[in-house]
Amino acid sequence: MYRVLIVEDDPMVAMINEQYIKRNKNFEIVGKCSDGASALNFLENNAVDLLILDVFMPKMDGFETLRKIRNKQIMVDAIMVTAANDRDSLEEALHLGIVDYLVKPFTFDRFQMALEKYIAQNNALKDIDTLNQTSIDHIIDNSRKKSEDLFPKGIQERTLQLIMEYLNGNKNKWFTGDDIAAMVGLTGVTVRRYMNYLAESGRVIGEMDYETGGRPCMRYKVE
């Protein structure tokens, strides 16, 4: 499980970040900081794999924080979450080696895409002790993949978004795979494949319904 530190001075955005991360079973939140200075202190005393890092913060902004982290050679990755949508800010972030760059307001699906990108990049480095040119090329190519290439085989971003838009519009309501298929215009087999993926990644809640009057079936909801 990847350890995440949220660095965000806006309590509402920090709460949204926390909720989004908790819905992905591959990550756990180990701390929250409201400014770069406290984040740097936390990193010097705690193990963290990934930062969710705001840019505009008091005392020390995100860019300065990340520069200090790199200078201190603290091994941690970062996803920038910011209102800054200008070219200079993006270039600065890229030079500092960010995993992804999210502009507020962002959707749940886009946030999850950034987390999946981080997982994909880390998986590419697993079990590799000695690098040759072929393995290096593979890792770099993975880091440049389009967002839809980050999903498992058989899962496409556009279809995933279609299903999630329907579920997000009907939060806290239970649906079977056939219910969802009928509403979004997909086959039941296709929807069940996507719902299995969403349940495994923690983006939906799935449970077996034994009160159908017949054969039990899975049902799903988004909270």
With a cut of 70, list the residues of the chain below it in pLDDT: 124-131, 134-152, 212-213
The architecture (CATH level 2) of 2-105 comes to 3-Layer(aba) Sandwich (3.40)
pTM given for the model: 0.63
Predicted pLDDT of residue 42: 96
Q: Are 94 and 111 in contact (CB under 8 A)?
A: no
Residue ranges per domain, the chain? 2-105, 157-221
pLDDT tens digits along 137-168: 666 665 555 455 556 677 887 888 889 889 98
Predicted pLDDT of residue 139: 60
CATH of domain 157-221: 1.10.10.10
d(CA 218, CA 175): 9
d(CA 4, CA 101): 16
Predicted pLDDT of residue 73: 92
Complete edge-to-edge strand list for the sheet that includes strand 27-33: 27-33, 2-7, 50-54, 77-82, 100-103
